[in-house]
Amino acid sequence: MKRHHYLTAPAMALTLSAAWAAPGDSGPTLDWSGYGTAAYTMADTGQAEFARFNQASGVQRTPRAGVDSNLGIQGTLAVNDWLSFTGQGLARRNAVDRWGGEVYWAYAKANLSREWSVYAGRVAAPVYMISDYRQVGFASTMIRPPQELYSQVVFDNIDGASLSYRTMAGDANLTLQLAAGNATAKLALQGAAPGSHQSIRAHAFKALNLQGEQGPLTLRLGYAHTSVSLEGDPQLAALTGALTEAGAGYGMPQLSRLAAALAVRGKSASFKSAGLVLDLEPLLVQAEFGQRKTASSIPDSTAWYVLGGYRVRQLMPYAAFASLKSRNSVSNAVPAACPDGMPDSCTPALQALSDAVSAGLAGSLVEQTTASVGVRWNFMQSAACKVQLDRVRPRRGGLLLNSAPGMHGAVTVFAAGVDFVF
d(CA 284, CA 341): 69
Is the residue at 149 inside a domain?
yes
* Secondary structure percentages of the chain, helix, strand, coil, to 5: 15, 50, 35
How many separate helices (H) and strands (E) can be counted in the chain?
A: 5, 16
Is the residue at 337 inside a domain?
yes
d(CA 158, CA 185): 10
Residue of 59, 51, 57 lying closest to 195 (CA atoms): 57
What is the structure's pLDDT at 202? Answer: 97
Is the residue at 1 inside a domain?
no
* Residue 69 near residue 105, CB atoms below 8 Å: no
CATH code of the domain containing 302: 2.40.160.10
* Residue 350 near residue 332, CB atoms below 8 Å: no
pLDDT > 80? residue 301: yes
Is the residue at 2 inside a domain?
no
What is the structure's pLDDT at 24? Answer: 46
In terms of average pLDDT, the best of 6-10, 15-19, 262-266 is 262-266
What is the structure's pLDDT at 192? Answer: 62
119: phi then psi, degrees, rounded to nearest 5: -120, 135
Lowest mean pLDDT among 18-27, 63-72, 360-369: 18-27
Number of structural domains the chain divides into: 1
Residues in a beta bridge with 130 = none
What is the structure's pLDDT at 396? Answer: 80
Is the residue at 3 inside a domain?
no
Is the residue at 4 inside a domain?
no
Strand boundaries in 194-266, DSSP class E:
197-214, 217-231
Q: How far is CA 173 from CA 10, 13, 383, in A?
A: 17, 17, 29
d(CA 212, CA 275): 11
Residue of 155, 367, 353, 342 lying closest to 254 (CA atoms): 353
What is the structure's pLDDT at 109? Answer: 98
d(CA 377, CA 379): 6
Residue-range definition of the domain harbouring residue 240: 9-421
Burial of 119 by CB count in 10 Å (0-12 exposed, 13-18 middle, 19+ buried)? buried
CA dihedral 177, 180, 182, 183 (to 10 degrees): 10
What is the structure's pLDDT at 195? Answer: 65
Name residues whose C-beta falls within 8 Å of residue 343's C-beta, 6 or more positions apart in sequence.
none
Lowest mean pLDDT among 39-53, 183-197, 280-294: 183-197
Is the residue at 356 inside a domain?
yes
> What's the mean per-residue pLDDT of the chain?
91
- Specify the pTM: 0.90
Name residues whose C-beta falls within 8 Å of residue 147's C-beta, 6 or more positions apart in sequence.
52, 53, 322, 324, 368, 370, 399
Query: Tens of pLDDT along 66-111?
Result: 999 999 999 999 999 999 999 999 999 999 889 999 999 999 999 9
Query: Tens of pLDDT along 193-205?
Result: 666 789 999 999 9
Residues in a beta bridge with 32 = 75
